[in-house]
Chain A
Amino acid sequence: MNALLNWLDDRTGYKEFVHEALYERIPGGARWRYVWGSTLVFAFMTQVITGVFLWMAYSPSSTTAWESVYYITYEMQFGWLLRGLHHFMAQAMVVLLAIHLMQVIIDGAYKAPREINFWLGLILMQIVLGLSLTGYLLPWDQKGYWATQVATKLMTLVPVIGTKLQRLVVGGPTYGHHTLTRFFAMHAGVLPGMLIGFLVLHIAAFRRHGITVPNPLYRRDSMFWPDQVLKDAVACLGVLMVVLLLTIFLGAELGAPADPSQPYSAARPEWYFLFLFQFLKYFPGETEIWGALIIPGLLFGVLALMPFLGKWKLGHRFNVAYMLIMLAGILLLTGQAWLEDNRGPKAADYQRAVADAEMKSHRVRELIEISEGISEKGGRALLRSDPKTAGPELFKTNCSVCHSFDGHDGTGRPLEKVAAADLGKFGSRDWLKGFIVDAGGPKYFGATVNGSFNGQPLGDRFANGAMSQWSKQHAPKMTGEEVAAVVEFLLAQGDRADLGPVDQELAAKGREVFELGSLDANAEGAEDRACLQCHEMVIGGAPLGTQGMAQAPELTAYGSEKWLRDFVLNPGAPHNYGDRNAMPSYKDRMSQEEFDILMKWLRRQWLERKPGSAADH
C-alpha cells in the first residue's frame, strides 16, 4: 500500500499538496469562531450535488418547468427530500454569508493585506444572491413568477441600457420559455462556474495571508487538521441538521403553476430580500431609482470601501458601527414588511391572497391526482379549465353586476349592490324551497328592485310579480310535504350529481303537486296553485297535463346544464322570460371556454377526489 502511495506521489506530488491543504498552522489554536467560512463551502457543495441531481429531472420551459418540479416533489422517490435540501440550504447559505461577513468586519479581517480577499468575498456574495434570485423563478410557480417579474422590471430603471438589459435577461418582451432557459443557464452554469472560480481565488488568498487571529496567545497553536477540521465538520453537521429539520417539517413549497393571466396578489420575494421590497415603498414617483438602485448601490459601495476606511484612526469602529446600522436597518425593514402583511390594515388582503394561493396549489395537485397525470398543455391548463377555481372570477366579472353568490361576489368579497337572485346554492333543495316559499324575498326576486334594464329601473316588476304573489298567496297553504315534493321533483329535472340521490317517490308526488297544485284532490284552490298553470314542462318528449297560459319560463329539464345554457344565452326568448325579461343575454360576452366553465361552476360540476382517497404526505 505504502509503495503504491509513494509511486502515486512520485508521479503527482499529491503528498505535498495534501500536506499544504491540511497542515496549516493556526496561531492560538482551533476555535469555533473560525467555522463560518467552512460552513459556506459545505453549503455550496451541498447545492452543487443536490443541484446536479435536480438538473437530471428538471426541464426548463414554460410548459414543463412547473410540471417537472411537481414530478420531482410529489412523484419521484425522495424527490421532496432532494428539493427540500436544495431549497433550504440556499436559505441557510444566505444566513451563513451574513454571519461570515459580519465576523470578517468585526475581526478586521478586511484590513491590509487582505483587501483583495475582502473584495473577492463581496463578489462571491453577489454571486450567491444572483443564484438565489435565478433559482426562485425556476419552479415556475405563481410566487416565483410574479416576484421575479418585479425584480426584472426594476432593471429597466438602469439609465440608458435598462430596457435592453431587461429584455436580454428575460429573453424577449415577456416572460416565457427563454426566460427559463436563460435563468437556468445562469443558475446551473454561469453563476456556479463563476462562484467556483472566485472561491478558488478566495481560498488561495486566504491561505496566503492565513487566518485572522484576534488573540494569537489564546491557546497553544494547532493545525488545521484535525483540530479545526473537526470543529468545522461539527458546525457543518449543525447546518445540515437545521436544513433537514426544515425540509421534513416545513417542506419546499410549490405554488400553483405560473399563469400570466392569473394575477397573484401574494407575490413576495424570498424573505432575505424583503427589506429591499419594503424599501421600495418609500420612494414615490420617479424617485424609485433611488430606492431600487442608487441607495442600495451606495450602501454596498461603502462596504466595499471598508479596507480603505479601516486605515483611518477610528476607521475600524466606523466600519463596525456601519455594519450594525445596516443590520438594524435590514431587520427593521424586514420587520415592517412582515407587520404590514400580518397585522396592518392591508394584512387581510394579503392573507386572503395567500389563502387563495394555497387553495390553488392544493387544488392543482388534487386535479393531477384525479386525472392521473398532466396533459401536454401543462398544469396551468388544468387550473384554467377547472370550474371550481376559475368559476368565481368569471362570476365576479360577468354576473356579479346584478347577482350575488352566497351574499358575496363569487370570490368572497362584499358587493356594493345586489339586483338579482343570489345564485350561491342555485338548484339545491334549500334554494328551491326558499324560492317557492318566498319568491319575492331579498334573496330572490326581491333584490330586483335595485335593478334596471335598458336604462329603465325595474321597480317591483319582479319583486311583486306573478311568482312573488303566488308565493305569498299559495305557499302558506301548502303542506310541508307538498313543498318538499315539488322541490324534489324540480331537483330531479336538473340531473345534479352533487346534490345526492333523488327521492323518486317524493319526486313523483312532486309531479302531482306541479300538475294539480296539491296532493289532496279536494284541497281548496288547488287548481290555481298548480305550477303548470304558468310553467310548461316536457318530460320524456311528452308535455305535462293540460298546458296553462305558459306566461312564465318553461321548466323542461330545469336546472340541467342544457336548461341553464339556454336560459343564460336567451333569457328574453318566449319560452323564458319573453317580454318581461330583464336579464342581458350572455351571447358574445365571453369566450366559449369561459362560458362552459361558468355554467359548470354554477351547477358545481367539477372533478372532486372521491372521499377517503385523499393522499397527503
Chain B
Amino acid sequence: MDHQPQPESGPVQDFLNAQEPRRDFFTQAAAVVTGSILGIVPLFTGLAVFLDPLRKRTRRKDGESAGTDVEEGFLKVTALDGLLQGGAPRRYEVIDDRTDAWNLFPQEAVGAVYLVREGEAGVRAFNVKCPHAGCSVDYKPEASCYQCPCHDSSFNAKDGSVANPNSPSPRGLDELDVKLVDGAVWVRYQEFQPGTSHKVPEA
C-alpha cells in the first residue's frame, strides 16, 4: 500500500479535507481558536477542581484557643508512669480530630508513636512510620530494635537511628517533640516526607 492518507473521519481530518478550495487564514485561525475554547472551558474547570488538594488549607483548630496546647500542636498521649525506666519502647496511638474531605471524625487515632523513657524525667518519641516508604515499624524486644515489615529497615531502640547499615531507610525514625505536663506525656505529632536524609515536614 502506498502512502495515501487513510480516509478517516474526525474533526481534524475534516478540517484538512476542507482545505481544497483555499480558505483564507483568518477563517482557519478563527475555527481553531473557537474549537479550542470549546474544549478548554470544561477541561480547565475540571483541572481547577482536580488541583484543589494543592491549595493550602488553614487547619480548623489553628484559629481557636480551645485546648491549652493546641496552638503548639501538642497532643496528650499517656501518663508518664506507664513507661518504665530502662523499659522497652511502647507504642501509643495519637488521638486527634481527623478530617477526611467532607467528614470530621472527632477524637480518632491520627497516627502512632513509640515512647521510650530516658532517665527520671526524659521521654523520647518516635513516629512509627518508616522514613523509607511509610510502613509502620514493629518493636522487636529480642533484638532491641524497630523492624520495618516492608523493606527490612531496622532502627535502634533508644534513639531511633538506623541500626543495620544496609537498611534502605535514608534516615533514622523521625523523632517528635515531647513535653511533660503534670505527669502526662504530650507529643507534637508530625509526619515527614519519606526518602530524604533530612526531615522535611509534610505540609
CB-based nearest A residue for B183: A588
Does B196 touch A at the CB level, under 8 Å?
A: yes
B79 part of interface (Cβ distance < 8 Å): yes
Residues of chain B within 8 A of A177, CB atoms compared:
100-103
Q: A261-B108, A286-B197, A416-B141 are in contact. Are A170 and B128 (CB under 8 A)?
A: no
Inter-subunit contact A589/B82 (CB<8 Å)? yes
The answer to whether A289 touches B149, judged by C-beta atoms less than 8 angstroms apart, is no
B95 engages A178 (CB within 8 Å)? no
- Contact check, A401 vs B82: say whether CB atoms are below 8 A apart: yes
Q: Does B93 contact A (CB under 8 A)?
A: yes
User: Considering the chains assembled together, what is the distance between the CA atoms of A1 and B162 in angstroms?
Assistant: 79
- Is the Cβ of B54 less than 8 Å from the Cβ of A280? no
- Is B150 a contact partner of A288 (Cβ separation < 8 A)? no
Contact (A149, B134) CB under 8 Å given A172-B53, A261-B93: yes
CB distance from A352 to the nearest CB of B (A): 10
- Assuming A173-B203, A284-B165, A286-B195, is B149 touching A588 (CB within 8 A)? no
In the bound complex, CA of A578 to CA of B50 (Å)? 63
A168: chain B residues within 8 A (beta carbon): 50-51, 53-54
Across-interface contacts of A285 in B (CB, < 8 A): 168-170, 197
Q: How far is the CA of A305 from the CA of B145 in the complex (A)?
A: 46
**A349 near B138: Cβ-Cβ < 8 Å:** yes
How many Å lie between the Cα of A589 and that of B168 in the bound state? 35
Least CB distance from B78 to A in Å reads 6
Contacts of A173 in B (CB 8 A): 53, 202-203
- Residue B74 lies at the interface, judged by CB distance under 8 Å to chain A: no
Asked whether any CB of chain B lies closer than 8 Å to the CB of A146, the reply is yes
Cβ-based interface call for A353 (8 A): yes
Residue in A174, A281, A396, A590 whose CB lies within 8 Å of B168: A281
Question: What residues of A have a CB within 8 angstroms of the CB of B88 in the complex?
Answer: 416
Q: Beyond A263-B128, A397-B91, is A584–B51 a contact (Cβ under 8 Å)?
A: no
Q: Chain B residues near A167 (CB, 8 Å)? A: 53-54
For the complex, give the distance between the alpha carbons of A588 and B197 in Å: 37
Q: Can you list, as one digit per residue, whether each of B59-88 has a CB less than 8 Å from chain A (1) or not (0)?
A: 000000000000000000011011111011
Asked if B147 is at the interface of the complex by the 8 Å CB criterion, the answer is yes
Contact with B along A401-429 (1 / 0, CB 8 A): 10000000000011110000000000000
Cβ-defined contact, A154 with B133, below 8 A: yes
Cβ A156 vs Cβ B135 within 8 A = no
Residues of A within 8 A of B1 (CB): 208
From B82, B193, B196, A398 is in contact (CB under 8 Å) with B82
Contact A589 B152 (CB under 8 A): no
The answer to whether A284 and B195 have CB atoms under 8 Å apart is: no
Does A346 lie at the interface of the complex (its beta carbon under 8 Å from any beta carbon of B)? Answer: yes
Determine whether B161 belongs to the interface, using a CB cutoff of 8 Å to chain A. no
B156 at interface by CB-CB < 8 Å: no
Q: How far is the CA of A260 from the CA of B138 in the complex (A)?
A: 15
Please name the residue on chain B nearest to A453 by beta carbon: B81
Q: How far is the CA of A146 from the CA of B130 in the complex (A)?
A: 12
What are the residues of chain B within 8 A of A588 when measuring CB–CB?
A: 79, 184
Are B133 and A150 interface neighbours, CB within 8 A? yes
Within 8 A of B (CB), among A239-266: 260-261, 263-266
Task: Give the distance to chain B from A305, nearest Cβ to Cβ, in Å.
Answer: 25
Task: Report yes or no: B141 in contact with A265, Cβ–Cβ below 8 A.
Answer: no
- A interface footprint on B118-155 (CB within 8 Å = 1, 0 otherwise): 00000000001000111110101110000101111000
B44 to chain A, nearest CB (A): 16
Alpha-carbon gap, A208 to B117, bound state (A) = 72
Assess the A260–B109 pair: CB atoms within 8 A: yes
Chain A residues, Cβ within 8 Å of B50 = 168
Number of interface residues of B (CB under 8 A): 58
Q: Which of A353, A397, A413 contacts B90 (CB 8 A)?
A: A397
Assembled-state Cα–Cα distance A401/B91 (Å): 12
- Please tell me which one of the listed residues A280, A589, A591 contacts residue B107 in the complex, with CB atoms under 8 A apart: A591
B109:A261 contact, CB within 8 angstroms: yes
Number of A-B contacts (CB under 8 A): 140
Which residues from B are CB-within-8-Å of A609? none
CB-contacts of A266-299 with B (<8 A): 266-267, 277, 280-286, 288-289, 291
A154 to B103: give the CA distance in the assembly, Å: 27
Interface members, chain A 454-500 (any B CB < 8 Å) = 455
CA distance A138 to B32 in the complex (A): 40
Per the bound structure, the CA–CA distance linking A163 and B135 in Å amounts to 18
Residues A331-362 near B (CB distance < 8 A): 340, 346, 349-350, 353
Quote the shortest CB–CB distance from A582 to chain B (angstroms): 12
In the complex where A164-B54, A168-B50, A414-B142 touch, is A280 in contact with B133 (Cβ < 8 A)? Answer: yes
**Which residues of B are found within 8 Å of A413, using beta-carbon distances?**
141
Question: Is A62 an interface position by the 8 A CB rule?
Answer: yes
Tell me the complex Cα distance, A9–B166, Å. 70
On chain A, the residues within 8 Å of B101 by CB distance are 171-172, 176-178
Task: Please determine whether B193 and A163 come into contact, CB atoms closer than 8 angstroms.
Answer: yes
Check if A63 is an interface residue, CB within 8 A of chain B: yes
A208 CA to B128 CA, complexed, in Å: 57
Q: Cα distance A167–B167 when bound, in Å?
A: 26
| B112 interface contact, C-beta 8 A | yes
Report whether B82 and A288 are in contact in the complex, using a CB–CB cutoff of 8 Å.
no
Is B194 at the interface (CB under 8 A from chain A)? yes
The contact string, 1 if C-beta is below 8 Å from chain B, for chain A 583-595, is 0100011110000
**Contact yes or no, B78 A589, CB < 8 A:** yes
Question: Which residue of B has the minimal Cβ distance to A163?
Answer: B193
| In the complex, chain A residues 568-608 whose Cβ is within 8 Å of any chain B Cβ | 584, 588-591
Which residues on the B side are within 8 Å of A589 (C-beta)?
78-79, 82
Cα–Cα, bound, A416→B140 (Å): 11
Residue of B whose beta carbon sits closest to that of A415: B141
Smallest CB–CB gap between A397 and chain B, Å?
6
Contact (Cβ within 8 A) A63 B54: no
For B139, give the chain A residue with the smallest CB separation. A413
**Separation of A398 and B77 alpha carbons in the complex (Å):** 12
Contact in complex: B95, A591 (CB < 8 Å) = yes
* Cβ A286 vs Cβ B196 within 8 A: yes
Contact B194 A156 (CB under 8 A): yes
Chain A hits for B142, CB < 8 A:
414
Q: Which partner residue on chain A sits nearest B198 by CB separation? A: A286
Pair A153/B194 contact, Cβ less than 8 Å: yes
The chain A residue with its CB closest to the CB of B87 is A401
- Residues in chain B near residue A261, CB distance under 8 A: 93, 108-112
Report the nearest A residue to B194, measured CB to CB.
A153
> Is B149 touching A266 in the complex (CB atoms < 8 A)?
yes
With both beta carbons as reference points, the residue of chain B lying nearest to A261 in the complex is identified as: B109
Give A170 to B134 CA distance when docked, in angstroms: 14
Complex: chain B residue closest to A349, CB-CB: B149
Residues of A within 8 A of B150 (CB): 150, 267, 277
Quick one: given A263-B136, A280-B133, A286-B170, are A157 and B195 in contact (CB under 8 Å)? yes
Nearest 7 A-B pairs (CB), nearest first?
Answer: A261-B109, A263-B136, A265-B149, A176-B100, A177-B101, A150-B133, A153-B134
A residues in contact (CB < 8 Å) with B: 62-63, 146, 149-150, 153-154, 156-157, 163-164, 167-168, 170-174, 176-178, 208, 260-261, 263-267, 277, 280-286, 288-289, 291, 340, 346, 349-350, 353, 396-398, 401, 413-416, 455, 584, 588-591
The contact sample of 9 A-B pairs, CB cut-off 8 A, is A62-B100, A150-B135, A150-B150, A260-B109, A260-B110, A263-B136, A280-B151, A401-B84, A588-B184
Starting from the known contacts A149-B134, A261-B111, 6 additional A-B residue pairs (CB-CB under 8 Å) come to: A168-B53, A177-B100, A281-B168, A284-B165, A397-B91, A397-B92
